[in-house]
Amino acid sequence: MSDLKYNRLQRTEKLIGAANLSKLVNSSVLVVGLGGVGGCAFEMLVRAGVGKLTVVDCDTFDETNLNRQILCTVLNIGRAKTEAAVLRAAEIAPDCRVEQKFMRYSNETAEQIFCERYDYVADCIDSVADKTDLIVRAVQSGIPVISAMGSGNRLAPRFEVKDVFKTSGDGLARVMRKKLREAGIKSLKTVCDAGLPIVADGVPGTVSYAPNAAGCLMAQQIVTDIIWKE
């Protein structure tokens, strides 16, 4: 292990041990969606020591992302989110391999994305159809997946990791339960708010910490699942 890599990860190794750190360094995680939740999950996985990350997004940053999306800066306005993720990782962990796929995840592009094996899939996309396809494809491929539910319209969220079929009060989770039942999926690990969202019209309101709190919790679950896997 290089001096930079060792120094960067020595506190992590102190916490989880060399064998578990090796699991992270040798793992590959797919992050689909680099907005508020996905961008933070991505950065936390980079900092935790995950060796390879594949990021998928078709969007670019604009000024409205500055209030909550950790990868968004004034200098990144107009830049592809996937490119910003590559640059951010290089500033933190040059040894972390990041493969960017500047495209929308859909049934039509899925084969280009699932052309390799992943140890975990982080679903951070909003489209119900695309979200369902990603989850079903991961489950059918035997790859662990965790899915972000709603983080908008939440001022004091209490995010938790919970099976989608045991959630309540989340509109996206309600729709996903129906779609997953139709697809024959009986269980799905999600990050969701234990409370109800603030009622708002039109585009959901957001605050800096809410989606990032969800992203941190998602990264925590991925890391612990990888290191505790037999």
pLDDT score, position 216: 98
- pLDDT averaged over the chain? 95
Q: Which amino acid is at 51?
A: G
1 falls in which pLDDT band (50, 70, 90)?
low
Identify the CA nearest to 190 among candidates 223, 155, 150, 152: 150
Identify the CA nearest to 167 among candidates 143, 140, 197: 197
Pairing of strands 189-193, 145-148: parallel
pLDDT score, position 201: 74
pLDDT in tens, 21-68: 999 999 999 999 999 999 999 999 999 999 999 999 999 999 999 999
Measured CA angle at 211 (ends 169, 163), to 5 deg: 45
pLDDT in tens, 179-212: 999 999 999 999 999 888 887 777 889 999 999 9
3 falls in which pLDDT band (50, 70, 90)?
confident
Domain ranges of the chain: 32-228
- Token pair belonging to 16: 């989880």
pLDDT score, position 59: 98
pTM of structure: 0.95
pLDDT score, position 202: 79
Across 89-98, 148-157, 167-176, the highest mean pLDDT is recorded for 89-98
Determine the average pLDDT of the residues in 134-153: 95
Checking if the pLDDT of 213 tops 70, the result is yes
Determine the average pLDDT of the residues in 141-168: 94
pLDDT score, position 4: 74
pLDDT score, position 97: 97
CATH second-level architecture of 32-228? 3-Layer(aba) Sandwich (3.40)
Q: Are 227 and 16 in contact (CB under 8 A)?
A: yes
- Length of the chain, in residues: 230
Q: Which amino acid is at 35?
A: G
